[in-house]
Structure 1
Amino acid sequence: MASPRRPIRIGNCSGAAVDPGDVMYEQAVSGPIDVITGDYLAEANLAQAAEAYAEGTHPGWVASAWDGLQKTLKVAAERRIKIVINGGALNPKGLAAQCAEEARRLGLSAKLQIAWVEGDDLLPDVRQILRPDARGRLPHLDAENPEVKLADGTAGFFDDPRKKIVAANAYLGSRAIRAGLDAGADIVICGRVADASPVMGAAAWWHGWADDDFDRLAGALVAGHLIECSYYTTGGNFAGFDEYDAGRDLLDIGCPIAEIDAGGACVITKHETLRGVVTAETVKCQLLYELQGNVYLNSDVKADLTHIAVRQAGADRVRVSGAKGYPPPPTTKLAVFYRGGFQGEHTVNAVGYATPQKYDMLEAQVRNQLRKWKCESEIDVLEFQRVGVPQANPRSQLKATTYFRIFVQAATADAVRKVFAAWAYNFMQHFPGMGGTLDWRLIMNPVPFLGYFPAVVRQDRLRESVNFLDVSDGATPAAARKIEVAAPQITEPLAPRLNYDPVAPQSLDTFGSTTLVPLGDVALARSGDKGANVNVGFTPRARLNHNEEMWQWLRSFLTRDRIKQMMGEDWHDGSYYVERVEFPQIRAVHFVVYGALGCGVSSSARLDCLGKGFAEFLRAVHVPVPRRFLGPVKVASHL
């Protein structure tokens, strides 16, 4: 084991399956690094390939992860860089074997020990795990919150023989990864582990932490969360991008690095030779991404972020500390995907004058035809969504053009087709100036979709292990030894989430006169999906230099009712529920809006199905901002 006297330097190489393999190689050769980690799995990745993998037409692993390994194995062996990734997806053993074959081809078999983690695939036992309780409820992630109303049909798949479950994968922690590194592994290939688990496992191995070093593990969980999404702390998806030269500062940016010390605090940075920006603001925004509230969960630890601190520690160096760790919950998340049926969508556009009435006319025509055909009962979801607002007194035809999105889900492809047959039946009765594609092959071609059910499973039901390949004899790689990992010995039930409006808020009148401007003029934000829910966190723009005063205004202004008001027509009273907490050390207010993404992920009807645009929508809403905070600010919304 390496010396714990200096921080471990962990570089991320992926936040999604589309991140190219070049990034892994880039992290290895661009500067000093101890471990490379990669998170390739979005929520639905495993399910999307599950049936093809079962039929033998898909390898089960992520292609870009394999590409990265091929490009990086030689330099990783030469520089003694460990690699821990979840790109094994459905078939971590298969990718480990591929990796071993490549190592042998390169003459590296003696230098690289290759292992894989298994135990996340619970498909054989999923129906028993999902067995309803005494009240008939399935173990949904939000089932214990009495304020949350689950979307209609959330649990209907369980008794529907047409909705076959195709994937059920538990979110594993870092214990098997750490055990593999302790046993000498150089490459650890995982399937569904939690996003931050590779970073946590590497840090625990390097520093020799015990399983109950909860404060340290909480710090590593935060570090993993901060670098897991590839470019999200170096300039990608950053609300403050408009303060930079996109053609210089935010072009060809590199992925981040976490330097984690023996106490669990970290410095987020990047290789000096790579482009991008690492500031307190880029780090704060990523910290606020996809949180559940003030407590961040992993199957190894609960991290209380209430007093998390973020400060600039040099050029492209940001120190993060203050996470408090507690025993993990006895359960972990179980992502269940099933055949949801078929869905389709089609967009038409209208130009300029009387656009709302034009879309009213089109919707009435389609609904009327479906009633005449008596096929409405065959359709599960039918939404007519209006996208955009035409520019008043338009300067061009494009600026006068908006879109009308017809979205449908049904049990059969034929039912989906009927919606678009209804549109086509009335095609020549269309409103004036209707437009859209003339390629009828692109119009509402029904495709199968996956439904999603975020469940929970007890950790003591898991059979988690790390497995090593034996490639020494030149034969086909085979399993040499298995190290089983027990469930956490110390757990703690989840407490109700904190949810409060500002404590001792300052009267908004004390901040002086106001003017209506987009909230984004004075605040940054980031949002994301949490199953059926969307989260969003806000923090003041640092460049305005009002610090404590602006923070007091922001936290006093952003109440739960304010978020409902700002959501406007998107707030569904009675269906949605909102939680709010504050992070005073980083001057941030955080919300979770339950139910805003329907059933979530692959089955959401929302145009913004991943919730990433929610923050930018709210930043565009005009609110009364104290004039003293504005000054001569040039922002994108005013250009």
Structure 2
Amino acid sequence: MIRIGNASGFYGDRASAWREMLEGGPLDVLTGDYLAELTMLILARDRLKDPSLGYARTFLRQMEQCLGLAADRGVRIVTNAGGLNPAGLAAALRSLAARLGLSTTIGYVEGDALDQPDALAANAYLGAFGIASCLDAGADVVVTGRVTDASLVVGPAIAHFGWTRDDLDALAGATVAGHVLECGAQATGGNFSFFTELPDGGRRPGFPIAEVHADGSAVITKHPGTGGAVTVETVTAQLVYEIAGPAYPGPDVVTHLDTVRLAQEGADRVRITGTRGTPPPPTLKVGVAGLDGYRNAMTFVLTGLDLDAKAALVRAQMEDAVGKEGLAFTLTKTADGALLHAAIHDPDPKRAGRAFSSAAVELALASYPGCTLTTPPTDPTPNTTFKTAEIPQLPHWSIPHDGPRVEIPPPTQTAPLIREYVDRHAARHADELPDQLRWRVGARSGDKGSDANVGVWVRSAQDFAVLRGWLSRERFVELLPELAEYPIERYEMSNLFAINFVVRGVLARRDWLDPQGKALGERLRARLRESR
């Protein structure tokens, strides 16, 4: 068994988590995930300002205190904090180790960066065998660029157990463990629908650990005494996060999430078994970060009477001042009034900048009664875009601390990915959902490029039998009518008592107030209860 912990789910996660995990109990490997899709855009803009950057600088600061502690505890570190410049971060870590008087060996993985002149950055999502190669060569710390999030866990398991590309079920099982760990405290009660049921109310959840076994099965747990909880439901919530169908594609294996079995085997211990894997697709996912003009936004606070008329007046005044092109308005009603969010997107930084925000502020004494805004005039920000594409599987390279550059060839056995969405019950769904069941539905939502997913689950086979017969695509759109114009796919995973909805293209909306789709799940739960 290998114990693999996680100390970061995104760029900006809890700064103290690395120390907490190293001091909290035994570990073999500690991972850190920094590369959300938004992070690649942030790092690309950093690199525009300074070509020596492009990596997660917070990780380097965290290692000031933790590199020696990891060495003392015999814990190896694997992170994708290298971002767009893994070689640069590896060099900075070597300098840090020398300054601290440590003999830490640092390897890195490269080969994800692609040459695309019209993009800020284009990076392929690599697999886990480059990480394993660095660890096999003796690296204490492995830095990567863009790898799949789960690869941070799969790589150490490959090195520990000696798996090959033919060990598809084991690779799939470790991928599930990696998917559970990748978002840090989301597996231990963070962002959990039923957070009020957690022992500490979800105030400070600990970070997760996977005890991975030679067959790819795992136990998800956390250090004793840390907050939150590890239950079948907290793990389920993470499993349905940012996925599409049950066939979950990766560069090393297709993991079939509808084969996963979860069981509570003790306090804060959930065993994952049964996961099946099949050969990976012949392609890799590529994330492409680009620039598309400039954007800006101001928010008006509306109170009292005639809210719609007040919003209409502001809209007309802003259009008169800067023109209609590229303007978007979103009115959100609140208990005390409403918020009118005015946004602009334009290739001209002057029009998107003070011309827009000053026009909003100038209405303070010349618009609706009670006019007020939430911010002063602001400068524009570059409007960055993130798109995905696919390319044929390609080799990448591991670079040990002082050894030769090692080529990691692509898999030789691949199979096309077949996506089949399921809506078998659309024609015969139940007329009613019992009131009590409406309170037992959990949800978690997120982003996959320009798509959003909403994973919904219940707590028993009996509840799932009712939910699957009621919550069709049609019902989903009735509950979230703002999504009606987008293609929606529906998938079932009866093993998890879960249904997953994928909304294609919704996050490409520039006026969308939930740009990463994080709030869709809770919005659905609220409307489930309101729709009685």
2:66 maps to 1:72: yes
SS at match of 1:286: helix
From the superposition, tell whether residues 263 and 358 of structure 1 become closer, same or farther in structure 2 (CA, over 3 Å). Answer: same
Look up the match of 2:466: 553
State the partner residue of 2:513: 607
Q: 1:586 to 1:49 in 2, by over 3 A?
A: closer
Does structure 1 residue 18 correspond to structure 2 residue 12? yes
Cα pair 1:21 1:67 within 8 Å, conserved? no
Hey, what does 1:465 align to over in structure 2?
A: 397
1:322–1:500: structure 2 CA closer, same or farther, 3 Å change rule? farther
Please say if residues 529 and 535 of structure 1, whose CA atoms lie closer than 8 Å, have aligned partners that are also in contact: yes
Separation in 1, partners of 2:454, 2:234:
15
Aligned equivalent of 1:342, options 294, 300, 311: 294
- 1:247-396 maps to which residues of 2 (within 5 A)? 248-370=200-322, 375-376=323-324, 379=325, 381-389=326-334, 391=335
Residue number in structure 2 paired with 1:32: 26
CA distance in 1, matches of 2:235, 2:266: 14
Query: Which of 580, 583, 598 is matched with 2:493 structurally?
Result: 583
Q: Which amino acid aligns with 2:501?
A: F
d(CA) in 2 for partners of 1:383, 1:456: 32
- Matching residue within 470, 481, 484 for 2:407: 484
Q: Is 1:445 matched with 2:379?
A: yes
**How far apart, CA to CA, are the structure 2 residues paired with 1:572 and 1:551?**
24
Give the unaligned 5+ runs of structure 2: none
Q: Using a 3 Å threshold, how does the CA distance of structure 1 residues 605 and 212 change in structure 2: closer, same or farther?
A: farther
Report deviation, 1:167: 0.9
Residues 88, 66 of structure 1: alpha-carbon distance in 2 compared, 3 angstrom cutoff: same
- What is the identity, as a one-letter code, of the residue corresponding to 1:408? I
Contact 2:298 2:360 in 1 (8 A): no
User: 2:467 is matched by which residue type in structure 1?
Assistant: L
Displacement of 1:486? 0.6
Q: Is the 1:307–1:584 Cα contact (8 Å) retained in structure 2?
A: no
Range moving further from structure 2, 225-234 or 66-75:
66-75
> How far did 1:503 drift?
8.3
Give the direction of change, closer, same or farther, for the CA distance of 1:360–1:15 in structure 2 (3 Å limit): same
Q: Residue 528 in 1 paired to residue 465 in 2? A: no
Instruction: Specify the alignment match of 2:86 in structure 1.
Output: 92
Tell me how far 1:296 sits from its aligned partner.
1.2
What displacement does 1:58 show? 5.6
Distance 2:356 2:467 in 1: 46
In the alignment, structure 1 residue 120 sits paired with structure 2 residue 112 = yes
Structure 1 residues 518 and 348, CA gap change in structure 2 (3 angstroms)? farther
CA contact (8 A) 1:338 1:451 kept: yes
Structure 2 residue aligned with 1:595: 505
Shift in CA distance, 496/190, structure 1 to aligned 2, threshold 3 Å? same
Distance across 2 between alignment mates of 1:496 and 1:241: 33
CA distance in 2, matches of 1:505, 1:70: 60
Q: Which ranges in structure 1 are unaligned for 5 or more consecutive residues?
A: 1-6, 128-163, 392-399, 471-479, 627-639
After superposition, residues 115-154 of structure 1 pair within 5 angstroms as 115-122=107-114, 125-126=115-116
After superposition, where does 1:95-110 map in structure 2 within 5 Å? 95-109=89-103
Amino acid at match of 1:581: Y
SS state at 1:306 partner: helix
The answer to whether 1:571 aligns with 2:483 is yes
- Measured in 1, the distance between the counterparts of 2:129 and 2:415 equals 17
2:456 is equivalent to residue 538 of structure 1: yes
Look up the match of 1:634: none
User: Are residues 506 and 410 of structure 1, via their aligned partners in 2, closer, same or farther at CA, if it must alter by over 3 Å?
Assistant: closer
Shift of 1:342: 0.6
- Relative distance call for 1:334 and 1:424 in structure 2 (3 A) is same
SS in 2 for 1:591: strand
Paired with 1:295 and 1:169, the residues of 2 have a C-alpha distance of 23
Alignment map for 1:166-205 (pairs within 5 Å): 166-205=120-159
Change beyond 3 A, Cα 1:12–1:166: same
Matches of 2:294 and 2:30, distance apart in 1:
39
Asked if the contact 1:200/1:217 (under 8 Å) is kept, the reply is yes
**Distance in 1 between residues matched to 2:418 and 2:505, nearest whole Å:** 21
Give the CA deviation at 1:259.
0.9
Determine the structure 2 residue equivalent to 1:410: 346
Q: Which amino acid aligns with 2:521?
A: A
1:225 paired to 2:148: no
Q: Which has the higher contact order (CA 8 A, sep 6+)?
A: 1
Tell me the CA shift for residue 51 of structure 1. Answer: 4.6
Q: CA deviation at 1:422?
A: 4.9
Q: Assess if the C-alpha contact under 8 Å between 1:269 and 1:317 holds in 2.
A: yes
Residues 113-132 of structure 1 show CA distances to partners (whole Å, capped at 9, x for unaligned) of: 2101111111xx225xxxxx
Q: CA deviation at 1:425?
A: 5.9
Identity over aligned pairs, percent: 37
CA shift at 1:12, angstroms? 0.3
Equivalent residues of 2:79, 2:144 under 8 A apart? yes
In structure 2, do the counterparts of structure 1 residues 350 and 67 end up closer, same or farther at CA, with 3 Å as the change threshold?
same
* Helix, strand or coil at the partner of 2:372: coil
Corresponding letter in the other structure for 1:335: G
Distance 1:595 1:54 in 2: 28
Secondary structure in 1 matching 2:369: coil
SS in 2 for 1:432: coil
Q: Which amino acid aligns with 2:400?
A: F
Per-residue Cα deviation, 1:27-81 (whole angstroms, up to 9, x for no partner): 1221111111110111132332335425537633212211232222223223321
Q: 1:503 to 1:312 in 2, by over 3 A?
A: farther
Q: Distance in 2 between matches of 1:443 and 1:425?
A: 10
TM-score w.r.t. structure 1 length?
0.79
CA contact (8 A) 2:364 2:372 kept: no
Q: For the residues of structure 1 that align with 2:6 and 2:297, how far apart are their CA atoms?
A: 36
CA separation in 2, counterparts of 1:624 and 1:252?
30
Alpha-carbon distance in structure 2 between the residues aligned to 1:339 and 1:504: 44
In the alignment of these two chains, the number of paired residues is 531
> Offset of 1:433 from its aligned partner?
1.7
Counterpart code for 1:191: G
Q: Is the 8 A contact 2:443 2:457 kept in 1?
A: yes
Q: Max radius of gyration: which structure? A: 1
Match for residue 148 of structure 1? none
Give the TM-score normalised by the residue count of structure 2. 0.94
Q: How many angstroms does 1:300 deviate by?
A: 0.7
* SS across alignment from 1:44: helix
CA contact (8 A) 1:506 1:553 kept: no
Q: Give the superposed CA RMSD.
A: 2.3
- 8 Å contact from structure 1 (residues 528, 535) kept in 2: yes
What code does the residue aligned with 1:554 have? L
Residues 428-469 of structure 1, C-alpha deviation per residue, up to 9 Å, x if partnerless? 4412222224x6xx3242121212221222113xx4111123
Residue 37 of structure 2 aligns with which residue?
43
> Would the aligned equivalents of 2:429 and 2:472 in 1 still touch at CA under 8 Å?
no
